[in-house]
Amino acid sequence: MSSSFSVPALPHIQKLHAYTPGLQPTGPGWVKLNTNECPYSPSPRAAEAIKHELADEGDLLRLYPNPKSTPLRQFVAKLHGLREENVLIGNGSDDVLNLLVRVFGGPSAATGFTLPSYSLYPVLVAINDGTTTIIEFDRSMKLPVEKIVSSGARAFFLTSPNAPTGVAFTNAELSAVLDKFPGVLVVDEAYAPFAKENAVSLLARYPNLVITRTLSKAHALAGLRVGYALASAEIIELLDRVRDSYNVNRLSQAAALAALSDTGYYDAIIGKIIYTRDYWVSDWSDRLGWFIYPTQTNFIFAEPKNSKGETGPAVAKSLYDFFLAQKILVRAFPSHALTAPFLRISVGSDDEMFSVNKAIEAWLAT
């Protein structure tokens, strides 16, 4: 249908490039290891909580959910030794990140982040017509403390452990930033359950620290979209000002509360994922001679080496294409020199990881 109507969108929206998530296959038979989802089912308590909400022919669904997710806020606060006013619940941690950019970003104040890191950050800044300050890692992945401190950003987003490399930064390194950084440091801890250390203990010392978490990775609730922020009461109050009134639905609130209460179930799952991760990191490093960053996440960031001993972007693309032909989905990051020679492989079940390894052996034999 043709039309002479010119859509009067804001200029910065007309230039916006939307975030591109990993491929989402629709047919059967795929080994999906490209979006760092949990390979195991969520706690049975989560499904039971949803069934409870759907009882009586789902009559509760006609009512709005708790607008502040108050019971969930209270539980998360207790879980981390904080108070309710230190917690905000979001529609996934992406929602929380968006709220943070709404509060601290915009045309008059730069938002900082590292490269590589979560590629949603620049999209959120662009939506708000903001300006960015980008600090690039080198191959060492050493945290550039002084560059962050002097970045001039009002808010700086730091993924720890880093995505896509999996490298974690210690509390001592984060403290070195927080001691001098005049803005708000947002530590995106999407993968904290798989890491040796997290930054929660730093909240008591640094009012300019915000921590974000998600239930999409370790807790296997990616389909329900629940995340949260931990911060000072002053920052949480600001985020509540710009939050959608009913930003987390009733079913998600109930399932998240039930899941977080089942610590034993998730301790076992997280332990199994870490064991599987470390096994394949060791195997591919030692047996195949691949360089793999020391990961504290549920994924492996590996630099493939072909049968000729070659590495590089073309080699990574060759393996990516071979995986794709075998209906195995992993993630490539060809747009940056540091990440282009690597592939990110989410840690899957034992059967999935054996399928990946079998495909690698076949690729090496070609």
Is there a single domain that holds both residue 103 and residue 141?
A: yes
Percentage of the chain surpassing pLDDT 70? Answer: 99
Same domain for 130 and 212?
Answer: yes
Question: 319, 356 in Cβ contact below 8 A?
Answer: no
Residues facing 115 on adjacent strands:
136
Domain boundary among 261, 291, 326: 261
The reply to whether 244 and 269 lie within a common domain is no
| DSSP symbol at 240 | H
Domain presence at residue 197: yes
In a domain, 5, yes or no: no
Inside any domain, residue 286: yes
Q: Flag whether pLDDT at 99 surpasses 60.
A: yes
Query: Vertex 168, ends 166 and 170: CA angle to 5°?
Result: 175
Number of domains present in the structure of the chain? 2
Q: Of 239, 261, 283, which closes a domain?
A: 261
Distance CA 342, CA 334 (A): 8
How crowded is residue 294: how many other Cβ atoms within 10 Å of its Cβ? 12
Instruction: Write the CATH number for 27.
Output: 3.90.1150.10
State the Cα–Cα distance between residues 97 and 128, nearest whole angstrom: 12
190 and 108 together in one domain: yes
In this prediction, residues 259-284 reach a mean pLDDT of 98
Do residue 239 and residue 176 come from a single domain?
A: yes
- The predicted pLDDT at position 21 comes to 80
pLDDT in tens, 124-160: 999 999 999 999 999 999 999 999 999 999 999 999 9
Asked if residues 331 and 34 have their Cβ atoms less than 8 Å apart, the reply is yes
Q: Say what the pLDDT of residue 106 is.
A: 84
Q: Residues 71-100: what's their mean pLDDT?
A: 98
Same domain, 64 and 176: yes
Structural domain range at position 290: 11-36+264-364
Q: Around Cβ 264, how many Cβ atoms within 10 Å?
A: 8
Same domain, 203 and 313: no
Let me know: does 33 contact 138? Beta carbons within 8 Å.
no
This prediction has a pTM of 0.95
Of 261, 284, 310, which residue is a domain's last? 261
**Residue showing tokens 């309710």:** 84
Q: Which of the four pLDDT bands, split at 50, 70 and 90, describes residue 365?
A: very high
Q: What is the pLDDT of residues 220-265, one digit of tens each?
A: 999 999 999 999 999 999 999 999 999 999 999 999 999 999 999 9
Torsion angle defined by CA atoms of residues 199, 205, 209 and 215, in that order, rounded to the nearest 10 degrees = 40
Q: Give the pLDDT score at 2.
A: 56
Query: Are residues 23 and 100 located together in one domain of the fold?
Result: no
The enclosing domain of 134 has a CATH number of 3.40.640.10
What's the gap between Cα 189 and its chain centre? 7
Same domain flag for 69 and 108:
yes
pLDDT for res 248: 98
Note whether 79 and 22 are same-domain residues. no
pLDDT of 3: 62
Same domain, yes or no: 141 and 183: yes
Strands (E), the chain: 31-32, 87-90, 110-115, 131-136, 155-159, 184-188, 209-214, 227-230, 291-292, 299-303, 328-329, 331-332, 343-346
Does residue 272 sit in the same domain as residue 157?
A: no
